[in-house]
Amino acid sequence: MKRILVFLTIWVLGQALLPKTADAYPLTEAQEERLRRFIPRSFAKLQNREPVHILVLGDSISTMYSPDDANGNWHLAYHREFAFQLSREFFYPGEVRLINPPKGLPEKKNDLLGDEILLENRAIAGRCAIDALQRVYTDAFVNDPDLVMIEYGINDAMTELTLDTYAAALNSTIDECQRYGLDVIVLGPNMVKQAPGPTEWGLVRSHASVAREVARQQDVLFVDLGEALARVEGVSAGRDPQEAIEEVGKKMEWIFDYGSSVTAEERIHPNRKAHEMMGQVIFEQLMNGEPPYPYGIVAKASFKDESTMETTVTVKNTSDVVRKGYLGALAVRRCLTPVNPYQSFELKPGQSTSFEISYLHRGRSEDRGNLDYFPLEPADSRIRFPFILADEKQSCVLTATSPVLPVGVIWQTGLDMTVTDKIRLTWRFVNPGKEPVEGTYRISLGDSNAGGRFSIEPGGDRKFFAEFNFRPEPGMVRQRMPVDLNVETAGRKFDFNRDMEVTKDLVLGEVVALSQFEEYVNEGVGRQEVAPGKPGVTLRADVDEKWMYYIFDFHNVDLVSSPDSSSIIADINIDARDSAECRQFGFVDKIRVATNAEDGPGRVDNPQMAVFGNSYNYQISADGIACVMQTMTDGNRRLSVRIPRAYFYRHSWVTDPAAGLNGIMGLNVNLSLLSVDAEGVSSYPPDKRFTLAASDLYLRDPRGFITLRLSRTPVETWSARLY
C-alpha cells in the first residue's frame, strides 16, 4: 500500500510539472501554420492537452492484417504509431487508448496513466473507397471524432475500379467529414507488387496519384505511404540499368519481409516495421511537410498505333549536386507494360534529360470476364506513369501524369434509365497539344456502327454523340455489349474501348431468369426464361401491405447438402433510397440469406448499416427477415425471402403512404450453389453462380443494379450504363 501511495504521489507531482499547453514545447512558426491549416480542430485540443479522438477508415492495411503473430494487433499498426507520436509531441503521458479494440486485445499497449489520445478503428478488410460512405453516413461519427484518417486504394486497384469512382468516393467521404467540422488526412496506398519483376510495382500508383489530386483540391493533408516506403538505399553508378533497378526492387521487398517463420509470399500487406515507419512518416509530414525529392519528372504520351503508346519521359536534377543514376518505368496498372523500361543518366544540377519509352497496352481480352481489357479511363483522358528513380544515395518512386496525344477521349458515363428504342453514346475529343488535330472516327455498339470527322483546336475539346437503334431480341432482358471508338489521324490509328450493360426494367410480379455468371459475362446476353431442360433459377419480386417478397424458383437444379456448408447463398442488393438518389452513385450493401437443401427455414446474416443505401443510418434486425426453402408440387424447389416494408423507412412507401405503389428501387442478386467434389471438399464454383446484372462496377455500387419499378404494369423501358 505504501508503494502505491508513493507511486501516486510521484505521478501527481509529475503531472503538475508537465506544461498545461503545448505552447511550452517549442513548435516552429511553419509547424504551427501547418497544424492550424490541416488539423485545426485537433490542434486546438492538443495545445490544451484535451482528449483528441482519431478515427480510421480503411481496408486490411488499417486492420493490421499480417501473416505472422502481429495479425490484428492494432497496437502495431501505422495509425497507433502516428497517435503515439502525437502523444509524445504534445505531452500526453497516458499515450494512446483504443476505444474499440478487437476481442482479446487490450485497450492500451502500455499501461500508463495520464492524458491520452483516443483511437477508433472502423476499417474493414477487403473494402474499397466507396465503402467509406457506409461509415460516414451511419456510425463513423457517433463518438465525436476530431481527426479522420482515410486509407483506401489497394482493393480499388486490384479489382480495376475506375479512377473517377475512386475520386468520387474520396470526395464524398471528405465532404461528409468536413460537414461535421472534422480534420482529415488522406493516405495514398502502400506499395504493392502485383507480379515478379521490378516493373510490376506500379499497380496502385495511379490511385495514389488520384488521392493526391483529391487531397490537393480539398486542401487536406495527403501522405503517400507508397512513396515513403519506396525510399530505400541507392545503388552504385556505372552498372547495367536493368540490374540496378532490379536491385532496387529487391531492396523494396523489405516491406514484405516477415522472416523465416512465414513461408507464403506476401506482396500486399506491410510488416510491422513498415507500419511503424508509415506512422512516423505521417506524423513527420504533418509537422514538416513532404521532404523534397532531388528529381522532377514529366511525361508526354502519344499513341503510335492500336497497341503501342510512346512516351517521352524527362528527368530533371533539382538538387545542387551531380547525380548519376537510373530510371525504371513501372507498369501502369494492368493496362500498359513498358517495353524498354530501364535507362541510366548523369545530370548536373538543374540539368534535364529525356528518354523515349514505349508501352504495350493489353487491349480487349477475348475473355470478357478478364478485367485486363481496360486500356484507358472512361472519364479521364490522362495517364499516370509511375517510375523508380535511383542514384548512389537513394531510391524513390515518382508518378508523372500526362494527357494523351494527339487526341484523348472523355466518355459520358452517367446512367440512362429511359432507354426504349434508342441508345445514345456521348463523348468529348480532347486535344492537349499545341497544334490543331483533325481526323476520322468510327464508333460501334455491338454490331451497329456510326462515324464521322472531327477537328479540335489546340488545347480544346468538342462534344460528339452517336445514336443507335436498340432492338433487343425477343425474350432478352440483359445484354453486355462492346463499345469501340476507332480514331484515325495523321496516318495513325488507335482505339478507345469500353463496355456497356443494358438491362430491362423489372416490375412487381414479373418472373425473370437469372443468368449463369460466366456464360453471361462471356456471351453477353441474358434471357427472360430458363432454357427448356437446362438448370436455372428465376426471380420474382412482389409486395403486399406489410412485406416485400423475393421468390427464387430452381428449375432442373440438383441442390447439394453438406453438414458444414449452406446449399444456397443468396446476396440481395436493394437500393431503397429516394427515387432521385436511387441507382445513382452511393453505397448499398446486401441482405445475405443461406439455406440447406432440405425444406425448412434458412439463415439471415445480420444486415450491415446502410444496407438499403447510404441514407439508412439505423441498424435493422435480421429477426424481422424470413427465408424458407420448400418443395413445390411440380418437384422443383423454391426459396422465399420476406422483408418488412417498414425496413425501407426512407422510401416513399413509408414516408408517404397515401402515394401507394410508386417510384423505383435498384436491385441486384448474386446466388451461389454449393458443390462438393469426390474428396468431400465444398466450394461455390463460378459455373454455379447466378446473377441479375454484372456490369463490372463495384458490387456495392448501385449504378450497376437493375431498376425495379414499383408497379404491376409491364414496361418496355431499359437502363444503360457505359463502364
Q: Is the pLDDT of residue 577 over 90?
A: yes
* pLDDT tier, 381 (very low <50, low <70, confident <90, very high otherwise): confident
Q: What is the per-residue pLDDT for 333?
A: 85
- Residue % of the chain over a pLDDT of 70: 93
d(CA 648, CA 270): 41
* pLDDT tier, 497 (very low <50, low <70, confident <90, very high otherwise): confident
Q: Is the pLDDT of residue 480 over 80?
A: yes
Q: pTM of the entire structure?
A: 0.93
The 10 Å CB-count burial string (b at 16+, else e) for 204-234 is bbbbbbbbbbbbeebebbbbbbbbbbbebeb
* pLDDT tier, 263 (very low <50, low <70, confident <90, very high otherwise): confident
Residue whose C-alpha is closest to residue 480's, from 518, 414, 525? 525
- Cα→Cα distances 359→204, 309, 375, 377, 389, Å: 18, 5, 11, 16, 18
Q: Burial level of 346, CB count in 10 A (0-12/13-18/19+)?
A: middle
Residue whose C-alpha is closest to residue 530's, from 510, 555, 508, 505? 555
pLDDT digits (tens, 9 = 90+) for 397-450: 999 999 989 999 999 988 899 999 999 999 999 999 999 999 999 999 989 999
- Residue % of the chain over a pLDDT of 90: 79
Three-class secondary structure of residue 449 per DSSP: strand
d(CA 298, CA 352): 11
Q: Burial level of 183, CB count in 10 A (0-12/13-18/19+)?
A: buried
Print the SS3 string covering 556-597: CCCCCCCCCCCCEEEEEEEECCCCCCCCCCCCCCEEEEEECC
Where residue 708 falls (left for φ over 0; alpha for ψ -120 to 50; beta otherwise) is beta
* pLDDT tier, 16 (very low <50, low <70, confident <90, very high otherwise): very low
Q: Is the pLDDT of residue 47 over 60?
A: yes
- No. of H helices and E strands in the chain? 13, 40
Distance of CA 100 to the CA centre of its chain: 25
Got the DSSP string for 657-691? GGG-S-SEEEEEEEEEE-EE-TT--EE--GGGEEE
Joined grid coordinates for residue 490: 495523321
The residue that leads in pLDDT, 196 or 562, is 562
Q: What is the per-residue pLDDT for 495?
A: 87
Cβ 1 vs Cβ 8: under 8 Å? no
What's the DSSP call for residue 434?
Answer: S
Q: What is the per-residue pLDDT for 657?
A: 54
Q: Is the pLDDT of residue 42 over 50?
A: yes
Three-class secondary structure of residue 169 per DSSP: helix
Q: What is the per-residue pLDDT for 120?
A: 98
Q: What is the per-residue pLDDT for 58?
A: 98
- Cα→Cα distances 140→64, 182, 609, Å: 19, 12, 11
Across residues 291-305, what is the average pLDDT?
92
d(CA 515, CA 156): 26
Q: Is the pLDDT of residue 19 over 50?
A: no
Most confidently predicted of 253-262, 287-296, 301-310, 489-498: 287-296
d(CA 390, CA 387): 10
Q: Is the pLDDT of residue 123 over 70?
A: yes
d(CA 503, CA 583): 13
Question: Mean pLDDT across the chain, nearest whole number?
Answer: 91
Q: Burial level of 111, CB count in 10 A (0-12/13-18/19+)?
A: exposed
Q: Is the pLDDT of residue 374 over 60?
A: no
What's the DSSP call for residue 713?
Answer: S
Across residues 549-572, what is the average pLDDT?
95
Q: What is the per-residue pLDDT for 303?
A: 87
Q: What is the per-residue pLDDT for 130?
A: 97
**For residue 225, which amino acid is it?**
L
Q: Is the pLDDT of residue 647 over 50?
A: yes
* pLDDT tier, 668 (very low <50, low <70, confident <90, very high otherwise): very high
Query: Given 3-state DSSP classes, what are the helix, strand and coil percentages for the chain, each rounded to the nearest 5?
Result: 25, 35, 40
What's the DSSP call for residue 330?
Answer: P
- Residue 453: enclosing H or E segment and its boundaries? strand 448-456
- Give CA torsion, residues 12, 18, 21, 23, to 10 deg: 180
Across residues 614-632, what is the average pLDDT?
94
What's the DSSP call for residue 240?
Answer: -
Across residues 633-658, what is the average pLDDT?
85
d(CA 403, CA 385): 11
**For residue 306, which amino acid is it?**
E
